Amino acid sequence: MGQEIDLLENYPRTKRNVEERGATKTEDVRRVARQFGKEFFDGDRQYGYGGFKYFPRFWQPVIPTLQKHFGLTGRSSLLDVGCAKGFMLHDLVELIPDITVSGVDVSDYAIAHAMDDIKSKVQVADARDLPFADNSFDVAIAINTIHNLDRDDCAQALREIERVSRKGSFITVDAYRNDDEKERMFAWNLTAKTIMSVDDWVSFFEEVGYTGDYFWFVP
């Protein structure tokens, strides 16, 4: 198996009002958010992002870390599973000229509203059944994506990431290390269906045969 490593260490941290989210979240709000449509990306804040817009300050500081870790060059290929509107892919192409990128997302809305220079490189697809041949990419990345699936489907998505990546992969998932983090996680979580402790996630990776790198999202 790969290593626990925070490849998003340079991603700007934003202050999250966990208490407010926990107090206003309802099952109907979660139902709407899990459709991953306009409401989730560009609707009211209670349903998700409250306006999902591109800002270079988010992903541009992260790309050099990814580049160094995976040895990315203009001859490399990378798949983003859960690419949304393609912000990270845009910055990859900007900062590593000639790199080959592809992205998939379950959201019709996100793909339809992808950045103009990325639209030809992204498509609607399910993480459980990636539309690519074995070993199609040097690297596959899934940031806060696969935990939105039920446990069995999450396992299948991990196997798919394993199948299409020939050199390496990296995922981040909702997790917790102690009771305080667990309480904050369940108060904050809006869309994830599989949330486990760090130790349980590592055992899960071993169980399903995921050999890539990983890290945790904790609000």
Span 50-90, pLDDT tens digits:
999 999 999 999 999 999 999 999 999 999 999 999 999 99
pTM of the model: 0.95
pLDDT tens column, 181-206: 999 998 889 999 999 999 999 999 99
**Inside any domain, residue 81:** yes
Give the list of residues 6+ apart from residue 158 with CB closer than 8 angstroms, or none: 146, 171, 205, 208, 209, 210
In a 3-state reduction of DSSP, which class is residue 88?
helix
**Inside any domain, residue 126:** yes
Whether 214 shows a pLDDT value over 80: the answer reads: yes
Instruction: State residue 1's pLDDT score.
Output: 77
pLDDT tens column, 98-111: 999 999 999 999 99
62 dihedral zone (left: phi>0; alpha: psi -120 to 50; beta) = alpha
Instruction: State residue 16's pLDDT score.
Output: 65
Instruction: State residue 22's pLDDT score.
Output: 60
CATH number for the domain including 44?
A: 3.40.50.150
Mean pLDDT, the chain, rounded, equals 95
**Inside any domain, residue 114:** yes
Instruction: State residue 132's pLDDT score.
Output: 98
**Inside any domain, residue 2:** no
Domain range for 58 is 18-217
pLDDT tens column, 113-154: 999 999 999 999 999 999 999 999 999 999 999 999 999 999
Are 70 and 167 in contact, with CB atoms under 8 Å apart? yes
| Domain count for the chain | 1
